[in-house]
Amino acid sequence: MTAPNNMLAELASLGAAVEDGSLRLEPGVAEQCVAACEQFADDLKIVQANTRWMSTPSAYGILASAQTLGGKFEAKAIGANGLSDVLEQHIDTVHRLRDLFEKAARAYHEADARAAEMLVNRTDGP
């Protein structure tokens, strides 16, 4: 999997391409990408919610050693920089990706509408 920082750099580059109008996508592709991003982010959130549940039973162990082990597991799962935090970073990245595709789709439709308007004007002209 691409590291989040590398992915962010790629996203920034793609974002710049969108801004200067050099990114090209087929009609409907951007919408499909938005839907895929939302599905992926949802899947990551399910893993995140499961991670929280996973740590719950460990809080009720009877043996002290089990509670200690449970505490360490909990830190790995939902503590600072634990799995849940890492998942959050991935979810943020996927949301940025979704925003990028939404922006691209909007730019495409706007450009298409402008082109259509210009054509109409030319046809209606003298």
Partner 1 sequence: MHGKSLVGAMQVTRVAGAVCIVFAAVGCGSQVVQGRPTAATYPDQPAFDPCLLPDEALVAAGVDPSTQDPDFFGVRMRGWNLCKWSNSWHFLGVAATKVPIEAVRENPRNTAITPVSVGTRDAFTYREATPDRHEYCDVAYRSTDGSVIIRTSMKNSEEEHTDPCGVAISSAQALDSFIPD
Binding residues (CB under 8 A) for partner 1: these are 42, 45-46, 48-50, 52-57, 59-60, 74, 78-80, 84-85, 88
Nearest residue (CB) to partner 1, 29 versus 85: 85
Nearest residue (CB) to partner 1, 25 versus 102: 102
Nearest residue (CB) to partner 1, 30 versus 41: 41
Q: Residue 59 carries which DSSP code?
A: G
Among the listed residues 80, 111, 93, the one whose alpha carbon sits nearest the alpha carbon of residue 18:
111
C-alpha to C-alpha distance for 123 and 114, rounded to whole angstroms: 14
From the CB of 76, what's the least distance to partner 1, in Å? 12
C-alpha to C-alpha distance for 38 and 50, rounded to whole angstroms: 18
C-alpha to C-alpha distance for 28 and 123, rounded to whole angstroms: 27
- Give Dmax over CA atoms of the chain in angstroms: 90
Nearest residue (CB) to partner 1, 32 versus 50: 50
From the CB of 94, what's the least distance to partner 1, in Å? 12
From the CB of 6, what's the least distance to partner 1, in Å? 23
C-alpha to C-alpha distance for 100 and 12, rounded to whole angstroms: 9
Which amino acid appears at position 72 of this protein?
K
From the CB of 80, what's the least distance to partner 1, in Å? 7
